[in-house]
Chains A and B, each alone.
Chain A
Amino acid sequence: MQDTLAHLKRGEKGIITDVSSIHIPLKLLEMGCLPGNLVQLLQLAPFQDPMYLNINGTHLAIRKETASHILIEKITHG
């Protein structure tokens, strides 16, 4: 199974690989949540939700439900 944004832990980064366009509001795409872009999880509110992210330089918060429709590839620091 592939990782989704919802699987990121605090401080981790990833590259967005695919977004399911039916589940993701266009607004989020327009804010930079697009395949190929870098994303980092900055903070988690209690109960891991919502998630405070830096996507492609934009700082925003989204709900975990939404995040689970965004596929990513984690970047592991070597």
Chain B
Amino acid sequence: MGKQINVALIGNPNTGKTSVFNALTGLNQKVGNYPGITVEKKEGICKLPRGVKAHIIDLPGTYSLNASSLDENVVIELLLNKNDKDFPDIAVVVSDVENLKRNLLLFTQIKDLEIPTLLVINMADRMSYKGISLDIDYLEKHLQTKIALISTRKNEGIDNLKNLIANFKDLPISPCLNASDIDKDYFDNLRKAFPNQLLYKLWLVITQDVNFGKTDRNEIDAVADFKTKSKGDLKRLQQRETIKRYQFINNALKKGQTIDVSQAKDLRTKLDRILTHKVWGYAIFFIILLTIFQAIYDWSSVPMDFIDNVFASLSEGIKNILPNGAFTNLLAEGIIPGLGGIIIFIPQIAFLFLFIAVLEESGYMSRVVFLMDRVMRRFGLSGKSVVPLISGTACAIPAIMATRNIESWKERLITILVTPFTTCSARLPVYLIIIELVIPKERFFGLGYQPLTLMLLYLIGFGSAVFSAYLLNKVLKIRSKTFFVVEMPNYKLPLFKNVIFTVIEKTKAFIFGAGKIILAISIVIWVLGSIGLNSNYSNAKEIVNRKINENGFSKIQAFSLQNKQERYKNSLIEDYDNITETQISDSINYKTPLFKKAVINDEIASLKLENSVLGYIGKVVEPAIRPLGYDWKIGIAIVSSFAAREVFIGTLSTIYSVGSEIEDDENKTIRAKMQSERHQSTNKAVFTFASGISLLLFYAFAMQCMSTLAIVKKETNSWKWPVLQLVIMTTFAYIVALIAFQLLK
């Protein structure tokens, strides 16, 4: 039978709701040891005993039914609207055994809504560690509910939980205390005026502005008359209510819970003494960041070289195996180099995700929030803005959603607006390849210049985020109450399974998301590059051959030939220990006709490219980007990366593949291709220190991500902010890149 019940998982932040959700549904939603990981409703299905099917809803954490931030509103709106299709048949309150007292406050409130309520006490594995023991029978009686003592980490008690959910009809629905005692007259009047409504629900409506289903609206509007009490009076009543609830909870726990302090091991105090220390706290934070960047380089160079070579040989192999033709060319010159351009960064991006996941799972994030609040406040941000700014290094989209737990709207808006400045993983490929090209490999006190440059770019990202926050704070005329409460969770050893899962999920999402766009764009680029615009395109071969027959090699071509010979010579010397001068010159002479052919073919390919549709478009953009030190090919890559930054490398490598006919051995990887790229008119390298730095800065500041703009629109509910972001950031990027190139060239 298709019997399906709605089960809502409700509880304070960070109590393990999502972990319970994952255990019940077998799904894998993101878990993290920081309050506010889940900010939206997530749904899944769970099969219960006796053929009952449960529709499980994971909700953002909330401390109470009095919402103070956006993510908490989601919970209240669901619980107060009986007509919602997700309105729960059973509310499962998930609590953390270490914070039972505080967790029970929410429980007592939900009981007042007269929904069947089940209490889950999670993290049972921590009980012995903290010297906690519980009298479950006593608590069940006192709290008028059933209790499931579970540990999602040890996977204990889940079956019992499923049983209890299936038998939800047996749960008592009466409130466990009588909160209306706090002002008898007032509540009696209220009850008389609205005999059909739940008293507690009325009270919630009176004290706050929550959204209800339309049907309830009219009746509830009448409640407005009951706002007779002044705001101050209402707040005092709420305070009395809270005290009353805690009295009840204290009574229940006095007998129901014993904590043997001598048994408790306190790692927290020791770690906090160092990690939140005035000096050491910051030093450690800085060292952690430094380590991350160094590791991104040191750990991933081997797999990266491997991937790079695989893709290069794949291109070559396909050309050899498949018959010559348009499709083969599309594969070998368009799609494979385009995809290879992004896949090569999997190792580095995965490491970045790994570090972020470990920081989130360990409980360290809240300490950073604590350390940074004072500093951030100067710039109109909240300490909590640090979390979006850090997780923005993976991707700005979840980061912007993570701002929902910031209480003050102004601080939240500013955080949303500046988060795209942080270096997201889509910028990473661009940075890495350009750094590789223009920054020396040497080390400085054991730290490589290249990782240092990368770290500098990240700091520039944070710096500009913070600086623009400062300006926004001055400019924006929004008055909103600022207050700040952040819970400091216990330290936890990150669960290997959770961390790895997060890393794989995020990397997959990145690669597939980027892969789709890159695939599409590299096909477009290849097609545009293969359509000739004029007779120069179709006669390229003859034109080049004629020129060379008449005038011999031009200076640039001669230089290119010499270059090839030089490189071949060096490789010979490297490969053979005792090779003689004559042997070398013989080999070179033998190879020279091949080299000449390669030079001629390159010339033909680039003449074709110049006279293709792509070349034409490039010529149109060129004047705009010339002052920044780029050639038209980079121009095209920049234009195509307005959809998403990571497209840049894919586009470039497609263009370079189309623009060179023969791939000799040393010239096949993307990096090598970029290195040997030269300005056609001057024969100067395209990627120099000056143009490289200029590109890096352009990418650091420009707003090039459609999805981010879309999410900003969604979270701010207006087009004004994303448009402003796009215009200001991109203009600024252009100016900075211009100045940098003109100063350095």
Contact = CB atoms under 8 A, between A and B. Distances in A.
Interface of A: 19, 21-22, 25-32, 34-35, 42-47, 49-50, 52, 56-63, 66
Contacts of B278: 44-46
Nearest to A62: B485
B272 A52 contact: yes
A66 B484 contact: yes
B488 A52 contact: yes
Contact of B99 (A29, A35, A45, A57): A57
A25 B239 CA distance: 10
A28 B276 CA distance: 22
B487 A29 contact: no
A63 B369 CA distance: 12
The 4 closest A-B CB pairs, nearest first, are A59-B488, A30-B64, A21-B235, A43-B276
Given A43-B272, A45-B278, A50 B487 contact: no
Contacts of B485: 25, 27-28, 31, 60-62, 66
Nearest to A66: B483
Given A22-B235, A25-B483, A50-B383, A30 B268 contact: no
Contact of A50 (B102, B105, B484): B484
Contacts of A58: 99, 102, 487
A60 B246 CA distance: 18
A47 B278 CA distance: 9
A12 B560 CA distance: 75
A21 B243 contact: no
Interface stretch (B15-23, B85-93, B370-378, B607-615): B370-378
Contacts of B366: 61
Given A31-B485, A34-B243, A59-B268, A50 B235 contact: no
A35 to B, nearest CB: 7
B66 interface: yes
Interface of B: 63-64, 66, 68, 99, 101-102, 105, 232, 235-236, 238-239, 242-243, 246, 268-269, 272-273, 276-278, 366, 369-371, 373-374, 377, 383, 407, 483-490
A66 B484 CA distance: 8
Nearest to A25: B483
B374 A45 contact: yes
Main secondary structure of the interface of A (DSSP, over half): mixed
Nearest to A56: B101
B272 A42 contact: yes
B232 A52 contact: no
From A43, A44, A46, A49, residue with most partner B Cβ within 10 Å = A43
Contacts of B235: 21-22, 26
A50 B277 CA distance: 13
Nearest to A42: B272
6 contacts: A26-B235, A26-B242, A27-B485, A31-B485, A32-B102, A34-B242
A34 to B, nearest CB: 6
B217 to A, nearest CB: 24
A16 to B, nearest CB: 11
A31 B63 CA distance: 7
Contacts of B483: 25, 62-63, 66
Contact of A30 (B66, B371, B373, B486): B66
A7 B278 CA distance: 18
Nearest to A35: B243
Given A57-B102, A59-B487, A61-B488, A50 B68 contact: no
Contact of B236 (A21, A27, A47, A57): A21
Given A29-B242, A52-B370, A60 B276 contact: no
Given A47-B374, A50-B383, A29 B239 contact: yes
